[in-house]
Structure 1
Amino acid sequence: MKRLALPAFCIAMIGFASCGNAGKTEEKKDSLAIGSENKTATEAPANVLTDTEKAEGWKLLFNGTNLDGWRMYKNKENKTWSAQDGTIHCTGSTTDKSDMRADLLSNDQFENFELVADWKIAPQGNSGILYLVTEEFEAPYMSGPEYQLIDDENFPEKLEDWQKSGANYAMNPPSKLAAKPIGEWNHTRIVLNKGHLEHWLNGEKVVDTEMWTPEWTKNKTTGKWKDYKGYGVAKKGHICVQDHGSEIWFKNVKIKEL
Structure 2
Amino acid sequence: MKINTYKNMKYLVYLILIAFSYGMAGCAPKDTAINTLTKKEVEEGWELLFDGKSLENWKTFNGGKVTGWEIVDGVLNNSGVGSDHGGDIISKKEFQDFELYMEWKVSPESNSGIFFHVQEGIVNAIYESGPEYQLIDDKGWPTELKDSQYSGANYDMHAPQEAEVVPIDEWNKTRLIVKGPHVEHWLNGKKVVEYELWSDEWYELKENSKWKEREHYGMAKKGHIGLQDHGGLTMFRNIKIREL
Q: TM-score range by the shorter chain?
A: 0.7 to 0.9
SS at match of 1:224: coil
Rounded to whole Å, the distance in 2 between the matches of 1:125 and 1:191 is 25
Change in Cα spacing, 1:77 to 1:86, as seen in structure 2 (3 Å) is closer
CA–CA distance in structure 2, aligned partners of residues 251 and 207 of structure 1: 22
> What CA distance in whole angstroms lies between the structure 2 residues aligned with 1:133 and 1:78?
17
Distance 2:243 2:66 in 1: 29
- 1:51 matched residue in structure 2: 39
| TM superposition shift of 1:210 | 1.0
Specify every segment of 5 or more residues in structure 2 that has no aligned partner in the other structure, as ranges: 1-27
TM-score between the two structures when normalised by the length of structure 1: 0.80
Deviation of 1:76 after TM superposition, in Å, equals: 5.7
Residues 76 and 102 in structure 1, CA contact (< 8 A), matched pair in contact too: no
Compute the RMSD of aligned alpha carbons.
Answer: 1.6
Distance 2:65 2:96 in 1: 27
- Which of 61, 66, 73 pairs up with 2:61? 73
Q: Pick closer, same or farther for the CA change 1:107–1:77 going to 2, 3 Å.
A: closer
TM-score normalised by L of structure 2: 0.85
> Any conservation in 1 of the 2:66–2:89 contact (CA below 8 Å)?
no
User: How big is the shift at 1:222?
Assistant: 2.1
SS at structure 2 position matched to 1:226:
coil
Q: Which runs of 5+ in 1 are unaligned?
A: 1-38
* Alignment of 1:180 onto 2:158: no
CA displacement, residues 68-96 of structure 1 (integer Å, 9 cap, x when unaligned): 110111116764212221011113124x4
Identity %: 45
Matched to 2:42, the amino acid is K
Number of equivalences: 216
Q: Does 1:234 align with 2:220?
A: yes
Measured in 1, the distance between the counterparts of 2:76 and 2:146 equals 28
The residue aligned with 2:51 is 63
Show the counterpart of 2:177. Answer: 191
Q: 1: distance between equivalents of 2:108 and 2:174?
A: 19
8 Å Cα contact 1:66-1:82 kept in structure 2 = no
Mapped partners of 1:137, 1:218: distance in 2: 22
Q: Secondary structure at the match of 1:234?
A: coil
Match of 1:147 in 2: 133
- For the 8 Å contact 1:106–1:240, the answer to whether it is kept is yes
Higher share of residues assigned helix:
1
Higher relative contact order (Cα pairs below 8 Å, separated by 6+ residues): 2
The residue number in structure 2 matching 1:26 is none
- In structure 1, distance between residues paired with 2:75 and 2:55: 10
